[in-house]
Structures are given as C-alpha cells and as structure tokens.
Amino acid sequence: MFTNPPARPIVHQFPCLKDNYGFLLHDPSTGETACIDTPDPAVILGEASKLGWRITQIWNTHWHPDHAGGNAAIREATGCVIYGPRGEEDRIRSLDTCVEEGDVIRLGDVTARVLDTPGHTAGHVVYIVDAANLAFVGDTLFALGCGRLFEGTPAQMWTSLQKLRSLPGETLIYCAHEYTAANAAFALSVDPDNAELQAYASEIREQRSLGRPTVPTRLDREKNTNPFLRADDRRLQATAGQPGDEVGTFAEIRERKNRF
C-alpha cells in the first residue's frame, strides 16, 4: 500500500496597511486556510476569495491592533477559529483557543509548533511549520532587525531571538512588516565591514526600488548579517562597548536603533 506524502502548504503574501504583510497559509490536501494575524480584514478576505480559499483559522502572534484588530471581522465573515497567545488572553478578547510554547496547531495535514517569544509584547508567540521550514514571527524578528521592546527586557528578547536563531538555516522567516531598507541602513552603521551585509543591503535597495518585497528572508542569511541575532559576536560586542556581555550588547544595539 502506498500513501502520498501530504502536499506542502502554500503561503500567499500581500501588503496590508502602511507597511504590514498579510499571510494566508493554505493546505492544498484539505483546503483549510489560516490567516496569520489580521492587519486589514477587507484586504485579507479579498485575497482569500480571489484564490478561492476559505479562511478556517486565524493565528495571532500578539495583541497589537495591526495584528489582531481584524479578528472579529474575519470570524464574522468566515466562522473561523482564532488561536492566539495565552499571555495576551485578556488583551485579545476574540481568542477561541489560547496557545503557548509546546503547543501544536493542526491546519488540515499541516502542523505548526508554537514558541513563546516575549520582548516586543509580554505574550508574543511565533508559529513554526517544521515540515516546510516556515516561521511566522510577527514582530519578534525582522529582516535585519527585531521588534521594539515595548513590554519586555533586553534579556527576554535576546532569549526569544536565540530560539529563532536555532531553527534550520533554510527556514523562511515571514516577518510582519516591510522595514528592511531602514533596518539595513542601521545594520551597516554598527557593522560596516561585514561583506555579506553590504551585499545584502545593496540587494535590498535594488528590490525596494523595483517595489518588490524583501520578506520572507532566510534564517542563514540573517544569522550572518542581522545585528540583533549576533549579540554574542565579538566584533559587535566591541562596537557596543560591551565585551563579553551578550545581553548588554543586545540592549545597547537596540537602544542605538531606537535613536537612529
């Protein structure tokens, strides 16, 4: 008896609001579709209907309105089930099922693993589809950047980013915002001699001048170029004036980015 392996999930990505991305994750074998965060319900519902996909789930990464603000409208239109961070249950009133690290979500034949990544918000979670090397990281990790520390400490965010850094290098990182060009300018300011970063930054300028997205990015590339994934790098520690101190280096670089 021979069984076909489940078809790989399809990701459909499209711009929302000023600089957010919307993502629909579709399981071709069962037709189930998850919407990762809900920045703009009208746009998201329109994209789903263009593709003939019915949204059956929402996966929230955190409570900010550009991530969970469209939950009610999308549930109203589709009857979907909403998953989101246990730590933000009181802030996202529309959650049906709370998730936290160790939980696994099923979308038809697709499974996603939840990681807790506090720092940007206190309860932020990310969703990892290991079988397809996909990571939906919300506002924790950006191409050449990371989220602002609104509710967490530098130590928490550095721990969260190290969890993401330990995923396989080929992992596609689906960040929630197109912030890459500004992030590249900052990254070059703290790591000007990094040849791989220089090449990446010029590619980004080229892509953006053509109006193309720089998301998703690949983790292996980020590991070599994103200053927020490299607080244990000796050269960056020296630049930050924090030799031997990963958290101190991370905190200093994050602080410099806030002022950049």
Q: Which does 222 bind (CB under 5 to 8 A by kind): Fe ion, Zn ion, none?
A: none
Decide if residue 139 touches Zn ion (CB under 5 A): yes
Q: Whole-angstrom Cα distance, residue 133 to residue 171?
A: 5
Minimum CB distance to Fe ion, residue 136 (Å): 13
Note whether 37 binds Zn ion by CB under 5 A: no
Task: Closer to Fe ion by CB, 66 or 246: give it.
Answer: 66
**Hey, which residues does 177 pair with through a beta bridge?**
20
Nearer to Zn ion, 24 or 175 (CB): 175
Q: Say whether residue 64 binds Zn ion (CB under 5 A).
A: yes
Q: How far is CA 106 from the centre of its chain?
A: 19
Cβ pair 62, 39 in contact under 8 A: no
Q: Pick the piece of the chain touching Zn ion (CB under 5 A) from 44-52, 132-140, 163-171, 199-207.
A: 132-140
What DSSP designation does 237 have? H
Active site residues: 62, 64, 66-67, 120, 139, 177
Question: Is residue 40 near Fe ion by the rule CB under 5 A?
Answer: no
Beta bridge partners of residue 26, listed in sequence order: 10, 33
Which residue, 66 or 178, has its beta carbon nearer to Fe ion? 66
